[in-house]
Structure 1
């Protein structure tokens, strides 16, 4: 389930975007709100909540408002994001800020009741390893709740670059089928997967590209070209994007996958990849929809 991403690049890009992120991350804020709405039907009184990929801390603050008696731990790979989160933490701080990698959480085994992660998993080099870490830190029966981008995300921008050259310029994202399989392989119980499609519109492609840079969502593919894109090359990409223009605007599609599952009881083994439990069609997952 590896996404082939350069983690040093991810850390640097999001660290550089810490001060501009919230101004431009309108979609990310909406997805976070919709993700946490899935807690409305859950009977939860968590003692510890872990927010993985907390960014500048708005999600952690919302979790504190929902669960005021819980310890909220806000974790991010980029230290500048954690510094930016201080304004949401307040004084005394509503949550603890911790620097760490989702694929190697600095958290004790079976010490968390709720793992929350909004639009972080797609930036992991190996999302399957992150899911294994989520299972490790969750208490038996604990809840995992996350959102991530699916492969249709930025499909117009990807197609525009592909029309000009064969080098990846837009990061690849994991399919919902693979996410469901990975949850089952990891031993999670009762997985529920849902999908939303968002289409944002822009007057021109340069505005979209500037916005992506402002939130740190730059190309982290390990096979990307490491040199700067020349003006002539970029002009051809912008021209190629124009074929998607409708009603005077350019669309940018985002496929968002929401997932929740329960941590298994003690002693339940992880399933081997290729076992029947990890390969049945995604439609058989309760609550899933395409």
Structure 2
């Protein structure tokens, strides 16, 4: 039955965490797109002349970005943060025997760190799992030192438009997230107090021999349907088959099935003076003496 929530696209945090906990072992084998976008995001750091002491990788997943940051900033402490503990455990295994990322299991909207503890925040494809971007950015701006850098990638509204349209021919439930518009993301940054936001976007289309391949890949990275308006019962073979049939409309001349991703990149700077906000609990970040 349909959820009674006023916003059917509101994401269930427990469902989101559950999907990524289960996918920790299969994520790397299915995350081709996530690695590619992460690499493109990290290339943008070539234009930023910083030598940060502390970098937070927010939504670290299995730690691909954290490991790169360790190599790029050889004197920095790198801390991966993820909602799923199993993902954090994978991140802690990255790096060499002498230097690995730290890992913290935490909600991006309620970070357990002291104010102004980080020089740089990096986030690759995590923001689309957040319900309230102004609140999330408001938390992040507190964690950054004055003039600290935020750099991120997330998904925009046209992401998985083929899958969304195909399910729309089957029933009235929500089957994919509603991804934020690039301009709304920029507005949320300004609302939170970030300055000089720069946003841009690109479209990436992956193709599959069959639609089930796309569905398996999404499941393999933990990207399950966590919307409140989802069908809370079993989908059923008949409905799935109807979706696959509807997807035939998008089949290309070469016989392959496309999946579109609108990728939004952005960076912004923390203000020189931050609004006062003292969390009740935080994890002090101290340099290791070993």
Q: Could you tell me the TM-score, scaled by structure 2's length?
A: 0.90
Contact 1:15 1:79 in 2 (8 A): yes
Which of 217, 235, 256 is the equivalent residue of 2:241? Answer: 235
1:169 aligns with 2:161: no
The two structures, once aligned, show a CA RMSD in angstroms of 1.7
Distance verdict in 2 for CA 1:179–1:2, change over 3 Å: farther
Q: Distance in 1 between matches of 2:274 and 2:163?
A: 46
1:137 aligns with 2:143: yes
1:103 aligns with 2:109: yes
Which of 198, 211, 216 is the equivalent residue of 1:210? Answer: 216
1:252 aligns with 2:243: no
Q: Distance in 2 between matches of 1:37 and 1:3?
A: 32
The 3-state SS of whatever aligns with 1:146 is strand
Contact 2:27 2:220 in 1 (8 A): yes
Counterpart for residue 53 of structure 1: 59
The 3-state SS of whatever aligns with 2:81 is strand
The 3-state SS of whatever aligns with 2:45 is coil
Contact 1:153 1:254 in 2 (8 A): yes
Count of residues in correspondence between the two structures: 270
Q: Distance in 1 between matches of 2:91 and 2:227?
A: 27
Counterpart for residue 80 of structure 2: 74
Q: Distance in 2 between matches of 1:168 and 1:72?
A: 37
Which of 261, 267, 271 is the equivalent residue of 1:264? Answer: 271
Q: Distance in 2 between matches of 1:2 and 1:222?
A: 5
Q: Distance in 2 between matches of 1:228 and 1:214?
A: 19
**Deviation, structure 1 residue 267:** 5.0
Greater mean deviation of Cα atoms: 121-130 or 69-78: 121-130
Counterpart for residue 284 of structure 1: none
Contact 2:119 2:149 in 1 (8 A): yes
Q: Distance in 1 between matches of 2:221 and 2:69?
A: 22
Stretches (4+) displaced over 6 A:
none
Contact 1:45 1:67 in 2 (8 A): yes
Q: Distance in 2 between matches of 1:163 and 1:196?
A: 27
